[in-house]
Each structure stands twice: as structure tokens, then as C-alpha cells.
């Protein structure tokens, strides 16, 4: 494992669903040993929500679960049974980091909250990430990432001024929260190397969402302005929008931020007469007449594919980009160059795509080698090799149902 940044670092990963598991995934990309604890009796949402391989449901067939648990070991354990809690505590004893994204109070119920874990291992670093954080009047709220994007103010800023707010299918705050936590977590690890002391980190995902809207928040705090959705318009720039291209539901985004880019744009599209219209010769003029201007631009873009428009304008130094669909991302030559998607063989899904970090480290590249585990796939390795249980002990745990093998999933969702 030479060159692996986190080689030897051990994580007991009790997190689940979207935001939590991405945190230990980042450490696992760079060599940490991560054991993820799950249970067949209440399989987590991502295992039952799909997308499933070929659309066929099954507890091990969801790419949702796979995406955030690559490079991890997976075990099945019933934390509601006293013996399950005993095993979990052995994992805490083994670990440097405990990861929790359960509802507030769940880990305490199992004797696995920070205070309890600290008694088992005083130098443990323990983090909790939940929608609202551990404290406050809304701390027990139920829900997924939609809580984050709704309560933080995102939906209100998504859509058109003359229409209702729109949902964010991607539960956006679930996908920025992990990176805030990783930066603080690594700083806490370094502190532990220097002082020998552990720490508790308590994240509110809604607060992360609010942080990413800071300019609008400050605009309200100082100027009393309540930001509203504005389609594809921008307060300061015109033209600024998404324009139709040839093909079905194909679009290109264009933003012209100054006079120089405007001149380049005009010559790139062959200086048609309308570009000489005096109304469009200044930024204030373009902004003041943006309805007309954008209509004229749309007439031009409609003659080309989005890719052609992007290439023509970028070559002229004008910011333009294809409104890429999921399919386009897999064919994007830049993402290919960066090896953004990595393909691994999953034991039930078969070969499929995993995403890599957004940054490239020049000396210690990430290493994405182990497809996400099926539920309990690594029981043998973890219970015997890591925790040192004997064959008999493991057999007893299986018979007693502490290591789970049976699911309570709705029948329709079980593996066929």
C-alpha cells in the first residue's frame, strides 16, 4: 500500500443513505480500511430505492448504495441485539474513526454514541452528520436530503419567477456536506497525531446548504433583499441563458460577460445584421434588451448541435457549454481525460461505473479497486481477520441471528 495517504487508518462506518457514507469513501479512496456496518432487517434506503441493475430489484443490485461504498468492507450485524452491540464495540476499539449519520439518538440507544465510544477508546475521533445537527428544536426531524435543500432555501431559488419553486432531484446539500466534514476530520486526525486526543464533530447539513447560499443570505442581512428564482437570467450579465440546439431537448449555455466577449461572439457567428443593432452595443443595452437579444441568439443556436455551438464559441474565447445530460457525461472527452468514471466488477451488478474525486494528487493518486460490498459480503474477513473471532464464534453469531442473513424487505424488492 505504498503511497497511500491513509494506509493503516481504520474507520468503523455506521453511516447510511447519502451524505454519511461519502465521507469514509473519500478516506477509502486514499487507502483507509473502512468497515461499513449494515443490517438485513432494516436495509437502508439506497439499497431499496435503486437504480437497480437492468431494473431488476434486489438488495445487492442498487447502484445508489454501490456509489458511496466503493473500496469499503461490508458486514451485516443486528445492532438491536445485545451481542450485536458487543461486536460493534469491538469495532470501535479497533477503529480510529467512528462515522454516524443515523437519526439523533439512534447511536445512543445502542450504546454507541460519542460518550460511550470515548469510554471504550478515549482517543476516538467521532463524527455525526444529520439534517439539523444534534441539537436545536428541529433536531429530530425525519427525512432525507430534501430537508436540507428545502430548509436551506434552495428550492425557492430553483425555477422561474412566474412559476412555482422546483425540487432538486439530487438532494444537493447531501453532496456538499461530506466535503466540509472531510476537511475538518483530517484536521482532527492531524491534531490527534500531535496531541493523542480525540474529538467529536457534529454537522448540520442544512447549515452547510445555507453556507453555500451565503451571498444571498448576506444580501438579505444587509440590504433586506429576499432572493428569488430567476430562470437562467443573471443580475449583472446579459446575454445569459440556455438556448435550444438541433436535436431533441438539446441545449447550450452561453454567458457573455463583457464587451470583448460580445465582439468575439458577433464575429464567431458571422456578424449578422442584428448584431450591429445599437441597442446591443453596450452591456447596459444588452441587459435592457435581453428578451429580444436572447430570442435572436436562440434563432442562431437552433441551426447547430450544442457541441458545435460550444466549440465555435469557445474557440472565439466566449464562455459556452453543452447542457450535458447524464449520457453526455459518460462521453465527455474532458471527463474521460480525467478518468472521472472508473469501472469495477461488482459481484451482483457486474461491471459498472464509480466516480473518482474531483481533484488529482500528483504524488499519491487515489486507488479505486474494490467494488462496493453486497450486504455482509466481507463478514468472513472482518469477523475473523480483523476482529479475530474463531470459526465457532462466527457460526454461533450466525445461528443466533446476530450476523444477519434474512431480510424484512418488501418481497417485491428482494433478490429474485
Partner 1 sequence: MAGQENSLLSGYRVLDLTDEKGQLCGKLLGDLGADVIKVEPPGGDPARNNGPFHKDIPHPEKSLFWFYTNLHKRSITLNLDTSDGKDIFQKLVKTTDFVVESFEPGYMASLGLGYAELEKINPRIIMTSITPFGQTGPYAHYKATDIVGVAMGGMVYIYGEMDRPPNRLSCPQFYFLGGLHGATGSMVAHYYRELTGEGQHVDVSCQQAVVLSLMIVAEIWDMLKYSYRGMGPFYAGARPGGSPLFSQVIYPCKDGHVFLLVTGASQAGMISSSQALVEMANKEGIAFELKDYPWQTIDAATINQEELTRLTDAIAEFIKTKTKAELSSLALERGILLAPITTVKDVVESPQFAARGFWQEVEHPELGAAITYPGYPIKMSEAPYQVQRRAPFIGEHNEEVYEKELGFSKQQLGILKSCGVI
Q: How many Cβ atoms sit within 10 Å of the Cβ of residue 131?
A: 30
Residue closer to partner 1 (CB basis): 301 or 379: 301
Q: Which stretch binds partner 1 (CB under 8 A): 76-84, 197-205, 383-391, 400-408?
A: 197-205
Residue from 60, 85, 101, 150 touching partner 1 (CB under 8 A): that is 150
Q: Which three cell numbers stand for residue 196?
A: 493523542
Our finding on whether 410 is near partner 1 (CB under 8 A) is yes
**Angstrom distance (rounded) from CA 184 to CA 104:** 21
**Angstrom distance (rounded) from CA 34 to CA 275:** 59
Q: How far is the CB of 341 from partner 1 (least distance, A)?
A: 7
Q: Which three cell numbers stand for residue 270?
A: 458571422
Q: Which stretch binds partner 1 (CB under 8 A): 81-89, 146-154, 271-279, 285-293?
A: 146-154
First to last CA, the chain: 38
Residue closer to partner 1 (CB basis): 270 or 333: 333
**Angstrom distance (rounded) from CA 34 to CA 181:** 16
Q: Which stretch binds partner 1 (CB under 8 A): 77-85, 185-193, 267-275, 386-394?
A: 185-193
**Angstrom distance (rounded) from CA 208 to CA 179:** 10
Our finding on whether 205 is near partner 1 (CB under 8 A) is yes
Residue from 13, 96, 100, 174 touching partner 1 (CB under 8 A): that is 174
Residue from 119, 197, 276, 385 touching partner 1 (CB under 8 A): that is 197
- Please, which residues have CB within 8 angstroms of residue 336's CB and are 6 or more apart in sequence? none
Q: Which stretch binds partner 1 (CB under 8 A): 80-88, 150-158, 273-281, 374-382?
A: 150-158
Q: Which of residues 232-271 bind partner 1 (CB under 8 A)?
A: 232, 234-237, 240-244, 249, 251-255, 257
Q: Which of residues 312-371 bind partner 1 (CB under 8 A)?
A: 314, 317-330, 332-335, 337-338, 340-341, 349, 352-353, 355-364
Residue from 10, 83, 165, 283 touching partner 1 (CB under 8 A): that is 165
- Please, which residues have CB within 8 angstroms of residue 214's CB and are 6 or more apart in sequence? none
The sign of the CA dihedral 22, 26, 31, 33 is: negative
Our finding on whether 67 is near partner 1 (CB under 8 A) is yes
Residue closer to partner 1 (CB basis): 342 or 370: 342
**Helix (H), strand (E), coil (C) string for 202-263:** EEEHHHHHHHCCHHHHHHHHHHCCCCCCCCCCCCCCCCEEEEECCCCCCEEEEECCCHHHHH
Q: How far is the CB of 344 from partner 1 (least distance, A)?
A: 12
Our finding on whether 386 is near partner 1 (CB under 8 A) is no
Q: How many Cβ atoms sit within 10 Å of the Cβ of residue 26?
A: 20
Q: How many Cβ atoms sit within 10 Å of the Cβ of residue 348?
A: 17
**Interface size with partner 1, residues (CB under 8 A):** 164
| Rounded (10°) angle between helices 177-195 and 19-29 | 50
Catalytic residue at 202?
no
Residue closer to partner 1 (CB basis): 273 or 327: 327
Q: Kindly list the catalytic residues.
A: 174
Amino acid at each position: 500500500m505504498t503511497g497511500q495517504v491513509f494506509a493503516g487508518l481504520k474507520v468503523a462506518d455506521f453511516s447510511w443513505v447519502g451524505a454519511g457514507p461519502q465521507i469514509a469513501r473519500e478516506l477509502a479512496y486514499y487507502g483507509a480500511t473502512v468497515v461499513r456496518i449494515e443490517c438485513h432487517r432494516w436495509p437502508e434506503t439506497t439499497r431499496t430505492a435503486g437504480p437497480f441493475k437492468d431494473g431488476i430489484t434486489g438488495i445487492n443490485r442498487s447502484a445508489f448504495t454501490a456509489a458511496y461504498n466503493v473500496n469499503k468492507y461490508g458486514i451485516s450485524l443486528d445492532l438491536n441485539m445485545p451481542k450485536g452491540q458487543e461486536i460493534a464495540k469491538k469495532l470501535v476499539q479497533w477503529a480510529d474513526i467512528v462515522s454516524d449519520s443515523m437519526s439523533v439518538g439512534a447511536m445512543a440507544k445502542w450504546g454507541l454514541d460519542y460518550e460511550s465510544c470515548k469510554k471504550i477508546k478515549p482517543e476516538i475521533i467521532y463524527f455525526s452528520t444529520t439534517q439539523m445537527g444534534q441539537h436545536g428544536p428541529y433536531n429530530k426531524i425525519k427525512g432525507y436530503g430534501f430537508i436540507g435543500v428545502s430548509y436551506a432555501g434552495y428550492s425557492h431559488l430553483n425555477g422561474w419567477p412566474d412559476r412555482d419553486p422546483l425540487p432538486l432531484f439530487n438532494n444537493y446539500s447531501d453532496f456538499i456536506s461530506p466535503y466540509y466534514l472531510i476537511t475538518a476530520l483530517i484536521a482532527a486526525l492531524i491534531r490527534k497525531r500531535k496531541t493523542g486526543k480525540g474529538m467529536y464533530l457534529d454537522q448540520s447539513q442544512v447549515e452547510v446548504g445555507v453556507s453555500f447560499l451565503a451571498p444571498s443570505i448576506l444580501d438579505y442581512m444587509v440590504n433586506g433583499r429576499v432572493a428569488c428564482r430567476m430562470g437562467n437570467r443573471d443580475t449583472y450579465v446579459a446575454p445569459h441563458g440556455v438556448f435550444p440546439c438541433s436535436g431533441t431537448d438539446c441545449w447550450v449555455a452561453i454567458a457573455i460577460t463583457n464587451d470583448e466577449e460580445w465582439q468575439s461572439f458577433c464575429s464567431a457567428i458571422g456578424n449578422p445584421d442584428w448584431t450591429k443593432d445599437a441597442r446591443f452595443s453596450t452591456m447596459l443595452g444588452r441587459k435592457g434588451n435581453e428578451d429580444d437579444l436572447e430570442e435572436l441568439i436562440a434563432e442562431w443556436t437552433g441551426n447547430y448541435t450544442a457541441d458545435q455551438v460550444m466549440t465555435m464559441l469557445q474557440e472565439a474565447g466566449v464562455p459556452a457549454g453543452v447542457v450535458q445530460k447524464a449520457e453526455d457525461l459518460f462521453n465527455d472527452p474532458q471527463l474521460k481525460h480525467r478518468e472521472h468514471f472508473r469501472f469495477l466488477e461488482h459481484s451482483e451488478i457486474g461491471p459498472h461505473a464509480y466516480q473518482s474525486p474531483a481533484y488529482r494528487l500528483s504524488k499519491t493518486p487515489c486507488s479505486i479497486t474494490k467494488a462496493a460490498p453486497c450486504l455482509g459480503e466481507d463478514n468472513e474477513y472482518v469477523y475473523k481477520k480483523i476482529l479475530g473471532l474463531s470459526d465457532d464464534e462466527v457460526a454461533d453469531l450466525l445461528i443466533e441471528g446476530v450476523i444477519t442473513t434474512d431480510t424484512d424487505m418488501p418481497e417485491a424488492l428482494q433478490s429474485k
